[in-house]
Amino acid sequence: MKHRRPQVRLSFQFLFCLLVSATAFGQSGNYDWTSQNLNIQNSRYAELDQINKSNVTNLAESWTYSPGPQDSILQVTPLVANGVMYLHSANTMFALNAASGEELWRRPLDRGPAGGPVRGSTYAEGRIYAYRGADLYAFDAETGAEIRSFGETGFVQVVTDALRHKYPDVYPSNTDPINLGYRLTTPPTVHEGKMYVAAALSEGHIPGGLVIRIDAITGTVEWVFNTVPQVPSDSGWEIARDTWGTGQRAGGGVWTPPAIDTEFGLVYVNAGNPSPDYDGSARVGANLFTNATVALDINTGELAWYFQAVHHDLWDWDHVTGPLLFDVTNEEGEIVKGVAAGGKNCLFYMWHRETGEPLFPMPETAMPTETDVPGEVVYPTQPIPHNARGIPMDPLCATYIPFNDPELAARSKQIYTPYSLTEPYIVAHGGSSFGSASFSPRTQLVYITGKNGAISLTVRPVGDSLTPGPDSRGHTENYASLDRVSEAYPASTTVSAYSPVDGEQVWQAELPAQSAIGASGNLVTAGDLIFQGLESGAFHALDAENGETLFVYQTSRSIRSSPLTYAVEDKQYVTVVSTNTVVTLTLP
């Protein structure tokens, strides 16, 4: 494990966070976790310290709950509000007593097609919002009754409505977005009566990912931003128009919750990869605004700024983790307001969130361009994040795979080497995923989870032949062979701590993994603990200052979800989903 000692200056904001932490339970003795990433900053920092480094080894199981085999909650982060825990599968919404796990009520989600797994709900103003397929549901948080004023009796076909709102001459009222490759893969973000909804799926060959603002009371669409502008009326068209060649403009799905900065009036999203994944011959150019962090005007949905992390992606390297907002105090005593993101290329990015300027240089760097894919034009450079010392930032996971075996070593290639038609190159392919990072104002560090992994792949050219659809054709139709090389290079999980003050990686912990994809996220607390689940079922508590493992609780099955922590009647709990069981720990 690597360590660097961070220089931390106590700012007013930091001292304020300490004060808030000391009184976090509030008058009710409760501390809520009301959205997948806790708040509109996506910070996953809980102002709770009852469980801390001095007593975390005493954690014990408090209660468990399983909804049954018909309701998969594999990737779900539950919520807690006012002493009640909420979670939903693709079929059912559940409410539990957060102190005991007793089921309070359940309601069916059955008004539209399912369309994939779910990852959590959102609580706001006495309502619970759930998603399934390409649709949203609203329930009364206390009773579970449908909120009949929300759309059609508690149900909104939000992606259909967004397509109709954005392109009324293209999509009729009976449009089925699932058949176009669209679905929701993340809970919405709610702020001041407005809901910000993100739509994927890039591999469905969708005509652009959607960011949708609706009225949280009525469900009415107010604006829509397309991450891949299709027509001149789309915001950002003049910038993106000439970055797509002559083929379809597809991909750019948004996998994770939007973040919001109320001071600057901006909404931030991470757009995913273009489609097809590995053959870019029909989309010559950078393919804006795929694989980019994008900032939008909160009132109009117009493009404010963007930064593309991966140009003309040929590796399925979704720019997916985050966005996460943070404030730190630099060595001059100035407050730096930043936004961070990561992705499957194992690189970590930070920008000034008002302007999109990198906190530290990200020079365009020459990359391999040789290819045998017909018509392919590999982008010649990629932005590489550097730190304040002017050297490349340490990656959050492996960007090159070393082998002792001479044959495998000859096949292993540097980052950004394009795949081949005939040569089974091995390229690093792990990275961070839909599990969000976290930020602690106490340590002034961002913590991001990744995977060390590799993949060997040969390309099956598809040119411009794909059409949008309900499967993952942008991925599956685009390769002839695929090998994750897991026996020769076993996967592992990483948790890395970065200082936004200087761009240094302060420490990195390496933990076991069973696959190279799908890293779940972490959380950090005022008790200076990081909680991280693993596919082995192990639930780790790490020291936020140095990454050392302080405690491990072994659940019975795999963990592929992100954890949460909350308090009920002055008692702190930590919860994680272990395959299909909600596991809740607390101090005796």
pLDDT band at 113 (very low <50, low <70, confident <90, very high): confident
Q: Which one-letter amino acid corresponds to residue 126?
A: G
Residues 6+ apart with CB under 8 A from 465: none
Q: What integer best gives the mean pLDDT of the chain?
A: 95
Whether pLDDT at 451 is above 70: yes
pLDDT band at 515 (very low <50, low <70, confident <90, very high): very high
Does this model's pTM top 0.85? yes
Which is it for strands 454-459 and 479-483: parallel, antiparallel or unpaired? Answer: antiparallel
In a domain, 488, yes or no: yes
pLDDT for residue 243: 98
User: What domain range includes position 17?
Assistant: 2-71+235-249+259-586
In a domain, 194, yes or no: no
Whether pLDDT at 330 is above 70: yes
DSSP per residue, 138-201: EEETTT--B-TTTBTTTEE-HHHHHHHHH-TTTS-TT--GGGGT-B--S--EEETTEEEEEEB-
In a domain, 505, yes or no: yes
Distances (CA, A) of 558 to 111, 454, 532, 573, 583: 30, 21, 12, 20, 12
Average pLDDT on 394-414 reads 97
pLDDT band at 276 (very low <50, low <70, confident <90, very high): very high
In a domain, 64, yes or no: yes
Indicate the DSSP class of residue 430.
Answer: -
Residues 188-214: pLDDT tens digits?
A: 999 999 999 999 999 999 999 999 999
Residues 6+ apart with CB under 8 A from 135: 111, 112, 155, 156, 157, 158, 159, 184
pLDDT for residue 7: 46
Helix (H, G, I), strand (E, B) or coil at 19: helix
In a domain, 192, yes or no: no
pLDDT band at 114 (very low <50, low <70, confident <90, very high): confident
pLDDT band at 17 (very low <50, low <70, confident <90, very high): very low
pLDDT for residue 26: 57
Whether pLDDT at 340 is above 80: yes
Whether pLDDT at 16 is above 90: no
Residues 123-163: pLDDT tens digits?
A: 999 999 999 999 999 999 999 999 999 998 999 999 999 99
Helix (H, G, I), strand (E, B) or coil at 516: coil
Task: State percent of the chain over pLDDT 90.
Answer: 93
Task: State percent of the chain over pLDDT 70.
Answer: 95
Average pLDDT on 319-330 reads 97
pLDDT band at 518 (very low <50, low <70, confident <90, very high): confident
In a domain, 492, yes or no: yes
pLDDT for residue 400: 98
Which is it for strands 571-578 and 581-586: parallel, antiparallel or unpaired? Answer: antiparallel
In a domain, 124, yes or no: no
**Closest to 287 in 3D by CA, of 323, 253, 241:** 241
Residues 6+ apart with CB under 8 A from 227: 208, 209, 210, 211, 252, 253, 254, 269, 271, 289, 290, 292, 294
In a domain, 484, yes or no: yes
- C-beta neighbour count of 19 within 10 angstroms: 10
Average pLDDT on 30-46 reads 98
**Which CATH number goes with the domain that contains 295?**
2.140.10.10
pLDDT band at 38 (very low <50, low <70, confident <90, very high): very high
Total domains in the fold of the chain:
1
Residues 50-93: pLDDT tens digits?
A: 999 999 999 999 999 999 999 999 999 999 999 999 999 999 99
Whether pLDDT at 452 is above 50: yes
pLDDT for residue 201: 95
pLDDT for residue 391: 98
